[in-house]
Every structure is written in structure tokens, then in C-alpha cells.
């Protein structure tokens, strides 16, 4: 079949990853986005490979495993902003291996000497950590280098994109609430504190949300301390009280006497949804691939979702060519049932 033009909506990690894979598959791709890096939600991400607030588990495991592979490959290339580092996730009670265990390499339970006071168990493993200030420009350069075109514009309806191409990819995250009327999307507010590098290139995690989730993620010239997960809150203003609580929780995980030099504060809104939406819809002879609702796992699932999404779009395109336009909208490929 001849090359087809596709319009990708969204300039974050999902949109750029989809754009790259579409270009590599032979499509002509335009990316439309209201915001580009450094002003996207992806720019605020702590950006460690770790499945968080994304469902369903079976599909997330598959997408996450594939993304782990791709990011690990990128970690071996200079200039990507990706590196693989070891770390420790702490547990207050003895714990079985996590469900995502098959996705990662070099996994083991922590020894008693490695645990912090008050913790009964822990996981030691190695994962990609991504400096988004370098990774997003890398993706953009790769996208443009493959022939992709970027247009900074706000899109209020799919009709605007369909006026230019019959094939659209929707990677607008929380924007899909207004763009396609998806009321199941909710913001999950995340606040982080940027501090000066702490020396040891090792991440620390405590996902106990009853006490307040805590993470310490080294990222080259800075370290990210977090965080919060406030479902339904959409404020982008950093809150001093939350910042102080984040610093206090992080200090409990770090060696006694560690000095924290604050560089700044950031807030982002994760696109929360009961399940990730990765599916193709037909509207007559027009197609839209939805790829959004990744919760706190946008980076973690990016390449897996992009690759499966391109396959779904290609299959839908071939089916449409064979059977012609469909009178009523229908779903192609895997659906989350919404």
C-alpha cells in the first residue's frame, strides 16, 4: 500500500514515541501539539521505569517489558538521557516478588543490612532512569530526522485533524477528556522537589501511600524527590507544605546527615484512567488510534504502546481498504471495553 499521512496529536513522550515508530514503518507523519518540551506533562515526570497507576495488569506487563528493552538499548547510546542504574524499593512488611518482576533484570530481595530502620523487606533491581530534559529533545530530533514535521497548535476536535488526514493518533493525555469526551480521565496531581546531586547513583522507593509515597531518583545534574498522587486535583501550583513533607520523607531514606540543596519545585498532572486506552476507532472511512490514560507510567509504557498501536493502525487501515468505509463507528484491535 502507498505511504499514508498520519497526524499525531500530542507532543509528550507518547506522541513522540508513536511518531517515531510510524515514520520507521513508512508513514508520513505530522505532529500537532499545543505544548512542546520543556512545557509538557512528560517534562515533569520523575521518569524511572516503574509501572504505577496503569491498568490492566496483563497488558501493562507486556507494554512495560517491551519498553524496558528499548530503553535499555537507548541507555547504551550517548546523548539519549537514558541510563540504567540500580536501586532499592523498601517494604514495611515481608513481600512476595512484585507482578512486574519478569520485566526487569538483576532482581533480588534486599539483605537485612541494606534495609532502612522500620522496613522488613525490599527489592534490589536495575532499571532505566530517564533525564527528560535530554530525552525529549532526543526524541524530537529523532522524529524530525526521520522526516516528521511539527506544528505547534491547539486542536479542539478530531474533525480538525481529519480535515487534513483520514488517519489520526490521539496522544493528548488528559486533553482527551475534552477532545473526545472521555469523562473517565481524572488528573492525578504529582509534586516533586528538585535537589542538587546526592552523589551515589542509586534510586530509592517507598510506595506506601498511607504514609506518603517517597522516591529519590538521581538524574545527572539533579536529583528528583517525590512525591504526591492526589487524584482529582488539577492545581499546578507547588505547595510549600507538601514540599516540606517530601523533603522530610526523603531524609528518612537517606544516610543520616545528608544535606539537601533545593533547586526548585515542579507539579505535573498524570492522566489517570481505569485502564490505558490503546485501540483504534473507525468513523466511516476515517481512523483514530487512541493511546492515552497511562497514569503514572507514560514513560514506562511508551515504546510498547507505540509499537502495538502502529500494528493496530496498520491492521485497521488494511481492513478499511478491503471492506470500505464502515457506516457506524467500531473498535479495531484490543479494547478496554469503554
Contact in structure between 29 and 11 (CB atoms under 8 Å): no
172 assigned ligand-binding residue: yes
155 assigned ligand-binding residue: yes
Q: How far apart are CA 294 and CA 131, in angstroms?
A: 19
175 assigned ligand-binding residue: no
Backbone φ, ψ for residue 215 (5° rounding) = -145, 150
280 assigned ligand-binding residue: no
299 assigned ligand-binding residue: yes
42 assigned ligand-binding residue: yes
Q: How far apart are CA 129 and CA 103, in angstroms?
A: 15
DSSP 113: G
Cross-sheet strand order for the sheet of 149-152: 149-152, 28-33, 5-9, 167-170, 286-292, 277-284, 326-332
- Degrees to nearest 5, angle at CA 270 with 88 and 107: 20
Q: Quickly list DSSP for 163-201.
A: TT-SEEEE--GGGHHHHS--TT-EEEEEEEEEE---SS-
210 assigned ligand-binding residue: no
40 assigned ligand-binding residue: no
320 assigned ligand-binding residue: no
151 assigned ligand-binding residue: no
Known binding positions for D-dopa: 215, 270, 296
Known binding positions for FAD: 41-42, 155, 172, 295-300
Known binding positions: 41-42, 155, 172, 215, 270, 295-300
Amino acid at each position: 500500500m502507498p505511504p499514508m499521512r498520519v497526524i499525531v496529536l500530542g507532543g509528550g513522550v507518547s506522541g513522540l514515541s508513536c511518531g517515531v515508530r510510524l515514520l520507521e514503518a513508512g508513514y508520513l507523519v505530522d505532529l500537532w501539539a499545543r505544548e512542546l518540551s520543556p512545557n509538557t506533562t512528560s517534562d515533569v515526570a520523575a521518569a524511572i521505569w516503574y509501572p504505577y497507576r496503569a491498568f490492566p495488569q496483563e497488558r501493562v506487563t507486556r507494554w512495560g517489558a517491551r519498553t524496558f528493552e528499548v530503553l535499555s538499548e537507548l541507555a547504551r547510546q550517548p546523548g539519549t538521557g537514558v541510563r540504567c542504574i540500580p536501586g532499592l524499593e523498601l517494604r514495611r512488611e515481608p513481600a512476595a516478588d512484585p507482578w512486574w518482576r519478569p520485566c526487569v533484570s538483576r532482581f533480588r530481595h534486599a539483605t537485612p543490612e541494606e534495609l532502612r530502620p522500620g522496613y522488613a523487606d525490599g527489592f534490589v533491581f536495575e532499571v532505566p532512569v530517564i533525564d527528560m530534559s535530554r530525552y525529549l529533545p532526543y526524541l524530537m530530533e529523532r522524529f524530525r530526522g526521520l522526516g516528521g514535521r511539527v506544528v505547534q497548535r491547539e486542536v479542539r476536535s478530531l474533525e480538525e485533524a481529519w480535515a487534513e488526514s483520514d488517519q489520526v493518533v490521539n496522544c493528548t493525555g488528559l486533553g482527551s477528556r475534552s477532545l473526545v469526551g472521555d469523562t473517565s480521565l481524572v488528573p492525578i496531581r504529582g509534586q516533586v522537589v528538585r535537589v542538587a546531586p546526592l552523589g551515589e547513583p542509586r534510586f530509592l522507593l517507598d510506595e506506601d501511600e498511607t504514609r506518603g509515597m517517597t522516591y529519590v531518583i538521581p538524574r545527572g545534574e539533579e536529583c528528583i524527590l517525590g512525591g504526591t498522587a492526589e487524584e482529582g486535583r488539577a492545581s499546578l501550583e507547588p505547595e510549600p507544605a507538601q514540599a516540606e513533607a517530601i523533603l522530610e520523607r526523603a531524609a528518612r531514606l537517606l544516610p543520616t546527615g545528608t544535606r539537601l540543596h533545593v533547586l526548585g519545585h515542579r507539579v505535573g498532572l498524570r492522566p489517570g484512567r481505569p485502564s490505558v486506552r490503546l485501540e483504534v476507532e473507525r468513523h466511516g472511512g476515517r481512523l483514530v488510534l487512541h493511546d492515552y490514560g497511562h497514569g503514572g507510567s507514560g514513560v514506562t509504557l511508551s515504546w510498547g504502546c507505540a509499537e502495538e498501536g502502529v500494528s493496530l493502525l496498520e491492521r485497521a487501515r488494511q481492513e478499511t481498504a478491503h471492506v470500505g468505509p464502515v457506516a457506524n463507528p467500531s473498535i479495531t484491535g484490543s479494547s478496554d471495553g469503554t
